[in-house]
Chains A and B, each alone.
Chain A
Amino acid sequence: MFGLDKKDSGLLLMVIALTILAPFILNPFPENSAMAQFNAGYPDLMQRLVIFGIFAIGFNILFGLTGYLSFGHAAFLGVGSYAGIWMIKLLTLNIIPAIVASIIVAGLFSLLVGWISLRRSGIYFSILTLAFAQMSYSLAYSVLTPITGGETGLQPKVNDPRILDAALEEGVTPRANLFGMFMNDSFELSLGGWVFTFNAGYYISAILMVIAFYISIRIFRSPFGLMLRAVKSNQQRLNYTGVESRPYTLAAFVISGMYAGLAGGLLVAMDTQAGAERMFWTASGEVVLMTILGGAGTLIGPVLGAGFIKYFENIVSKINETILQAWFSFLPDGLQDFFVAIFYPFIGKGWHLTLGIIFMLVVIFLPGGLMEGGQRLSNLFRRNKDTDQGAGKSQPAPAE
């Protein structure tokens, strides 16, 4: 299908199915039940899940294939956001110019950063990219305030030029749209006690994520992708085989920068605001976590990692002391307080503590990320099935 082999087509179809059905999958609890607050099927979060999915897919093209660990990828996301918001302010509230501009500007900026940073490899490369990102962040906060809005960031205003649109009337909230379809338009479907939300912005982001995922499969399977893996494996041999590695790594860097820009542009298209905090180094670190947690170098791992982190960030942050009290209310008073005290640091604002522990466990026990976990489970399952059928020996799965 579309030039993919059977296995990759299956993977693509699975991603398409998951994104289409996400409003159902993420809303497993009835609206009025006590668990309803753990539903994740609301537009804002679903948009973030797929947008950060795009970010991680792009990051994986660089880190997963070439092994170059960029620690400043949030800079491209931020630059993409600023480019997008300026298109919205200057041209139109239609999201297409915003998204196109965010990809192009982030691509150009990553060309510049990559051109310089890729002169070094390993830890020096990581530090260079980190330095660039922190520089961009500080500039956006201070010197570049006329372009970036500084601390307050940028939002569409009533008096923006917006050359292609009719000017907004006083009192109308500016809403991003795609030819009249507003990003925050939703259609709600009530089934029994369940309410499912189908949001326009989510589906537009999801379509772009599927396209981004498809392109990344093509890159993984192409001669270009093979060369990138060769860079990771043995750069010396590659050079003595007549291949110059710099243009390959630079191309991968720019492609992943453009993915980050697309993610930034989409963030703007969804919430029509941009701020410097998107470029802060923790944001760069987050995409590294997503990719490693899901499985660097695997096709679907980064998407899962992004989904996992954004989903649990949302769920765990929502738990507060009252909820904990309720969970442990079946215990005698002293014990209840004891358990509440133990779990309290891990919830709400303590979400990063939980994430840190999960990340450590994954890196130590599943260096291949969630994908490796899934593979081990399926191997275990297969082996059990084999023994049940009396097949005796199990064939180890061929390494991918």
Chain B
Amino acid sequence: MGILEVKDVNKRFGGLQALSNVNLSVEEGTVHAIIGPNGAGKSTLLNCFIGKLDPDTGSVMFNGTSLLGLKPHQINQLGVSRVFQTPEIFTDLTVFENVMIACFAKRDGSFELNAIPSVSSQTDIQEKAEQMLIDVNMIDKRGEEAASLSRGDKRRLEMAMCLAQDPKLLLLDEPTAGMARADTNNTIDLLKEIQEARGITMAIIEHDMHVVFSLAEKITVLAQGTPIVEDVPENIKGHPKVQEAYLGGAHV
């Protein structure tokens, strides 16, 4: 029984069967990648995990709780954090404030009318946010406005915000999309570090094979809305079905 169990998920958009009978199980403590050519249904599947889309049939269970019909903040409070394709951060606020917001959300839940004490008096939050910034190597940028960060640093900050919440599952949606090779390698190293240090379960949706093969312990290949192969990386590379899907011979 995995931490994230996807069973018989179907999703149809008008005449397009975006997902058909998807079954997937993400084991706790592993890095599980979901790959596939354009239009394979990767993003649709991810949107079913995070409350953006409801599948027509099937179930998505996280730790024994159904995620279907829940709002994004409820899913997050269950322990699922999400990293976006383009880093989503609070651009008007400082780096430190960004991380503190994540810490407050973890401590206080989805709403708390905490209007009297000052932020600077919340020492537990301050210490934790500092630690997170040290962990992702950004403590020297704590006072900077988040909008002024480089793309790679924005990604680091987003990771720090997710980690501050001690997630049980980290969802990454093409974390290196549009990045230069050097930034991509930095991100891979960061994710590896995090995985080694904390053993967080990760589900990665990715296009870039280089990223997938350097991180994932298990790979699911999606083609035309259906998982065609699920295996360890070594066996995926040479798999005839995968090559067929990527080279475009899947539908005759």
Contacts and interface: CB of A to CB of B under 8 A. Distances in A.
Contacts of A234: 88-91
A221 B100 CA distance: 13
A241 B120 contact: no
B119 A227 contact: no
Nearest to A234: B90
A230 B93 contact: yes
Interface string A3-17: 111000000000000
Contacts of B119: 221-223, 225-226
Interface in B63-87: 71-73, 76-77, 81-82, 84
Given A226-B97, A241-B76, 11 more contacts: A225-B119, A229-B90, A230-B90, A233-B91, A240-B88, A242-B109, A243-B104, A243-B111, A244-B110, A247-B110, A399-B145
Interface string B113-125: 1111111111001
Nearest to A398: B143
A238 interface: yes
Contacts of A4: 118
Nearest to B158: A237
Nearest to A219: B115
Contacts of A218: 115-116, 118
A-B complex: 8 closest residue pairs judged by Cβ atoms: A242-B76, A224-B115, A233-B90, A247-B111, A237-B88, A242-B105, A223-B114, A244-B110
Interface string B130-159: 000000000000010100000000000000
B77 A242 contact: yes
B112 interface: yes
How many chain A residues sit at the interface, stated as a range, is 20 to 34
Contact of A241 (B105, B115, B121, B125): B105
B114 A230 contact: no
Nearest to A221: B118
B113 A224 contact: yes
Contacts of B91: 233-234
A224 B101 CA distance: 10
Given A218-B118, A223-B108, A233-B93, A241 B102 contact: yes
13 contacts: A3-B118, A223-B114, A225-B115, A226-B97, A227-B104, A233-B91, A233-B93, A239-B76, A241-B101, A243-B105, A243-B110, A244-B110, A247-B111
B106 interface: yes
Contacts of B143: 398
Given A223-B108, A230-B90, A239 B118 contact: no
Contacts of B108: 223
B76 A240 contact: yes
A251 interface: yes
Contacts of B50: 240
Interface in A213-260: 218-219, 221-227, 229-230, 232-234, 236-244, 247-248, 251
A239 B90 contact: no
A238 B120 CA distance: 20
Contacts of B242: none
Contacts, number: 108
A4 B121 CA distance: 10
A226 B101 contact: yes
Contacts of B221: none
A237 B93 CA distance: 13
Contact of A227 (B84, B101, B161, B165): B101
Interface in A185-239: 218-219, 221-227, 229-230, 232-234, 236-239
Contacts of A247: 110-111
A176 B173 CA distance: 64
Nearest to A217: B118
Contact of A222 (B110, B115, B165): B115
Interface of A: 3-5, 218-219, 221-227, 229-230, 232-234, 236-244, 247-248, 251, 398-399
B163 to A, nearest CB: 12
Contacts of B115: 218-219, 222-225, 251
B208 interface: no
A244 B90 CA distance: 15
Contact of A240 (B72, B97, B125): B72
A242 B110 contact: yes
Contacts of A230: 90, 93, 101
Contacts of B90: 229-230, 233-234, 237-238
Given A3-B118, A239-B73, A399-B145, A244 B111 contact: yes
A314 to B, nearest CB: 35
A256 B81 CA distance: 33
Contacts of A240: 50, 72-73, 76, 81-82, 84, 88
Nearest to A297: B92
A221 B117 CA distance: 8
A248 B125 CA distance: 20
B105 A222 contact: no
A270 B102 CA distance: 46
Contact of A236 (B71, B88, B109): B88
A216 B54 CA distance: 41
A261 to B, nearest CB: 18
B205 to A, nearest CB: 15
B204 to A, nearest CB: 17
A5 B117 CA distance: 12
Contacts of A237: 88-90
B75 to A, nearest CB: 8
A244 B145 contact: no
A241 B102 CA distance: 6
A73 to B, nearest CB: 20
A350 to B, nearest CB: 38
Contacts of A248: 111
